A and B are shown apart, each in its own frame.
Chain A
Amino acid sequence: MALKPSFSDEISNLLYAAHGNPINACIQCGTCSGTCPVANYMDQTPRRLIGMINADLKEDVLDCNTYWFCASCYHCTVRCPADIDIAGVMYAVKRYSIWNKTYSEDLVGPKFSEAFVKTIVRTGRSYEPILAPTYMFHFGPKDFFHEAVTASKMMLKGRIPVLPPRIKRLENFKNMIRKIIPLGESS
């Protein structure tokens, strides 16, 4: 009979190997934080986040912005002396946070992910002009302005598509998705 899992076990269960707990191998050396190009902007550095996961500080982990600020550059992953896939851990916490709706409302990251995935599920392709309004709504006025200026410059150079692309066999594609996530009206 399995013991009630710790938070660290829960996150390990979301990882690829899903066997044992690789996160517990952390020696708190700080190589990840020293490597991370976004660490300065995070509430908690990657090293601290791993430490907090292992200390069962579930709420504090979920409250911080660290994993949403991870750019998936995998620099920490390739350098970790304990062989922890740290970028993978960030993905796992992101999934945990999306499934349980624990992310804070002022973060753009989860909104962007949700908007992006929605676009792909509906058309099979990503399309900037549909995406942009969804997440730009969460920007402050200054960011919004900058983004609009850059976008219109790119538009003038013909670098933004006018019509949303979509794949041809879209019905097949949608049925394929239903077999993986069994939601939606059956067709």
Chain B
Amino acid sequence: MAKEIKILIVDDDPDYVEGIQSTLINAGYAVDAAYNPKAGFEALESKKYDLLLLDIMMGRGAEGVMMARKINKDPVLREIPVLIITGIREQMAFLFPGQPVHPRFLPTDELLEKPVDPDLLLEKVSHLLELAEEKKTNE
């Protein structure tokens, strides 16, 4: 049997987490959830994850950006591929109407905007995991 693939979701919306978690579990992944960045970092320290799904608007504000940057600075954690899944364009629509998320300042591998189609999610997840696997074998 293949090694179990572990995914961590850090997102403050419990209903959203529930939905995405069941999609991923049905596809055979082991999924943990943390509902704020602090709990997210605790989870990352407690065991090794193969992929991180990260929300942006959490806590005091866009703390997902803070978290992604902190992970990218950590020599160990930066090896984990990060997929940002965010509703920020909707959440901040009054401020930047119709304007796109631009990933220039986001040290992350991929970005999806909510609502996310389950098939697209699974496709992105397996693609990121493959890339990470390739990178590892090339080293």
Contacts and interface: CB of A to CB of B under 8 A. Distances in A.
Partners in one complex: yes
Nearest to B64: A182
Given A179-B105, A183-B92, A10 B57 contact: no
B3 interface: no
Contacts of B34: 2
B12 A180 contact: no
Interface stretch (A11-19, A25-33, A158-166): A11-19
Category for how many chain A residues contact B: 20 to 34
A184 B90 CA distance: 13
Dominant secondary structure at the B interface: mixed
Nearest to B37: A18
A106 interface: no
A114 interface: yes
A10 B104 contact: no
Nearest to A4: B14
Interface string B13-38: 01001100000000000001111111
Interface string B39-56: 100000000000000001
Contact of B35 (A2, A100, A117, A182): A2
A121 B96 CA distance: 10
B75 interface: no
B95 A9 contact: no
B99 interface: yes
5 nearest A-B pairs in the assembled complex, by CB-CB distance: A183-B96, A99-B91, A13-B36, A114-B94, A184-B99
Given A14-B59, A14-B60, 9 more contacts: A2-B32, A2-B39, A5-B35, A10-B35, A114-B94, A180-B62, A181-B65, A182-B106, A185-B100
Interface of A: 1-2, 4-5, 9-10, 13-16, 18-19, 95, 98-101, 114, 117-118, 121, 178-186
17 contacts: A2-B32, A13-B35, A14-B12, A18-B37, A18-B60, A19-B38, A117-B95, A118-B94, A182-B56, A182-B65, A182-B101, A182-B102, A183-B92, A183-B95, A183-B96, A186-B102, A186-B104
